[in-house]
Amino acid sequence: MDFNGSQDLSYPTGLSSNTSMDYEDYYQEPDASKIIIPSIYALVCCIGLTGNAMVIYVILKYAKMKTATNIYILNLAIADELFMLSVPFLATSAAIRHWPFGSLMCRLVLSVDGINMFTSIFCLTVLSVDRYVAVVHPIKAARYRRPTVAKVVNVCVWGLSLIVILPIIIFADTVPAQDGGVNCNFLWPEAAWSEAFVVYTFLLGFLLPVGAICLCYCLMVARMRAVGLKAGWLQRRRSEKKITRMVLLVVAVFVLCWMPFYIVQLVSVFHHPPDPMVTQLFVILSYANSGANPILYGFVSDNFRRSFQRIVCFRWLESGLDAEQVDYCAVAVKRQATCSPLDFPKDCMASDMVFRNGTRCKVVSWDDTLEASLRRGSPASKLTSRGGNLSPPSPSSHL
């Protein structure tokens, strides 16, 4: 949303401001942009809603994904998902150059847009602090880096964001436009309020959080250099490396997506409004950040990538059982036990099976098992699982 009510710009919400100078007075929007801009909004919305929904789903569904770091990522995904929900309203307004949804929806959309914009950067700040504690203070990490603590912190993040956007809740409203339409914008009591709000949002929504994030990573680098290759540190550093790299990459993409937007806002306040088309593109870039995060998780995190693959591929056991609730190799043993030696090679071959949770269970054929057992003098009922031997229980074990 563009916070400068004294200038006639496209807001980060894509909405026109209430000013005495009409948008078309200094810039005639090309007809093509009326199609291109809403189309880009729609594309960003589809990618963002789908990607963040997948992130939310895998963290809530799979127990191993419920780590402290992933709870913070869940909060970020929820913020991004809600951030994307305002895009259809913005795309519609950008297409028709009019706000047709009324005063209540204007205040609601701007408030949701604002609270999730601040929640996103606050979540990234918390993630960076979490990485700092994990790397620099591993002993304290066991106490503070727990899912329960992460949930409490997430609630505090939303509360802080709600306080920060109180000016939006109070001053957002519809205003008649000079062309006879309606704009959704901020009705500041004085022009100086809009300038102060731009600086206010830049400090709390970008400069201070990014400064805190940079400080966390500088301290992490200093700690790594100081400790060097001491016993136990190298292994722990390797285990934290991928997670830290993922968080750092997400932060870097956030800065790249949001910095142009804030620069445009500051230039608009202290100099002259830039080309509205450029402003619109930077606004879209800021929204695109919410759609980029799930893509980054998939590329950098093995756990997220495997979880996304499960959603897309829908790998189910042939028996119809839920793969997340069964002993996979035990199922393979049971399946082999139901087949005779003559039928097994044809009907029950299950060599190197891969189940929905990524477990690989290598089941050898009956003939190979029999031949190997004769050479070893061992029973022919053993299966190899992850390189080891798995023996089914003997009948006496049930007595």
Is residue 18 situated within a structural domain?
no
Same domain, 126 and 199: yes
Is residue 10 situated within a structural domain?
no
Is residue 5 situated within a structural domain?
no
Same domain, 340 and 382: yes
Closest CA to 80 of 34, 122, 40, 49: 49
Residue 323: is its pLDDT beyond 80?
no
Is residue 192 situated within a structural domain?
yes
CATH classification of the domain holding 127: 1.20.1070.10
Look over the chain and give the mean of its residue pLDDT values, rounded to a whole number.
74
DSSP labels, 271-336 = S----HHHHHHHHHHHHHHHHHHHHHHHHH-HHHHHHHHHHHH----TT---GGGS-HHHHHHHHH
Same domain, 384 and 276: no
Residue 238 CA to residue 240 CA, distance in Å, equals 5
Closest CA to 161 of 114, 196, 207: 114
* Those residues with Cβ within 8 angstroms of residue 262's Cβ, 6 or more apart along the chain or in another chain: 202, 205, 206
Res 345: pLDDT:
44
Question: The tokens 């690989």 sit on which residue?
Answer: 360
Long-range contacts of 196-203 (CB under 8 A, 24+ apart): 197/3, 197/167, 198/3, 198/4, 198/265, 198/266, 198/268, 198/269, 199/266, 199/269, 200/167, 201/3, 201/265, 202/262, 202/265, 202/266
Same domain, 293 and 367: no
Is residue 3 situated within a structural domain?
no
Residue 361 CA to residue 340 CA, distance in Å, equals 20
Domain termination residue (choose one: 313, 341, 374): 313
Residues 397, 354, 368: CA angle, nearest 5 degrees: 60
- Tens-digit pLDDT profile for residues 211-220: 999 999 998 8
pLDDT above 90 covers a percentage of the chain that reads: 31
Question: The tokens 């290759």 sit on which residue?
Answer: 229
Residue 211 CA to residue 376 CA, distance in Å, equals 66
Same domain, 293 and 394: no
Question: The tokens 């790998």 sit on which residue?
Answer: 315
What's the rounded mean pLDDT across residues 294-319? Answer: 73
Same domain, 75 and 210: yes
The total number of structural domains in the chain stands at: 2
- Tens-digit pLDDT profile for residues 86-120: 888 888 888 888 899 999 999 999 999 999 889 99
Q: Which has more pLDDT, 316 or 189?
A: 189
Same domain, 385 and 255: no
Same domain, 85 and 197: yes
Res 238: pLDDT:
61
Is residue 183 situated within a structural domain?
yes
Same domain, 157 and 291: yes
Question: Can you give the C-alpha Rg of the chain in angstroms?
Answer: 28
Domain termination residue (choose one: 279, 313, 347): 313
Residue 186 CA to residue 184 CA, distance in Å, equals 7
pLDDT band at 158 (very low <50, low <70, confident <90, very high): very high
Closest CA to 296 of 152, 80, 122, 119: 80
pLDDT band at 319 (very low <50, low <70, confident <90, very high): very low
Same domain, 376 and 291: no
Q: Which has more pLDDT, 311 or 124?
A: 124
Residue 207: is its pLDDT beyond 70?
yes
Output the pTM of the full model: 0.70
Is residue 9 situated within a structural domain?
no
Domain termination residue (choose one: 280, 313, 346): 313
Res 362: pLDDT:
47
What's the rounded mean pLDDT across residues 68-90? Answer: 90
pLDDT band at 145 (very low <50, low <70, confident <90, very high): confident
Same domain, 283 and 345: no
Domain of residue 380 covers: 323-398
Is residue 307 situated within a structural domain?
yes
Same domain, 45 and 182: yes
Res 173: pLDDT:
92
- Tens-digit pLDDT profile for residues 378-395: 443 333 333 434 344 444
Res 152: pLDDT:
95
State how far the alpha carbon of 348 is from the alpha carbons of 126, 204, 370, in Å: 51, 62, 16
Q: Are 267 and 274 in contact (CB under 8 A)?
A: yes
Instruction: Quote the DSSP letter at residue 206.
Output: I
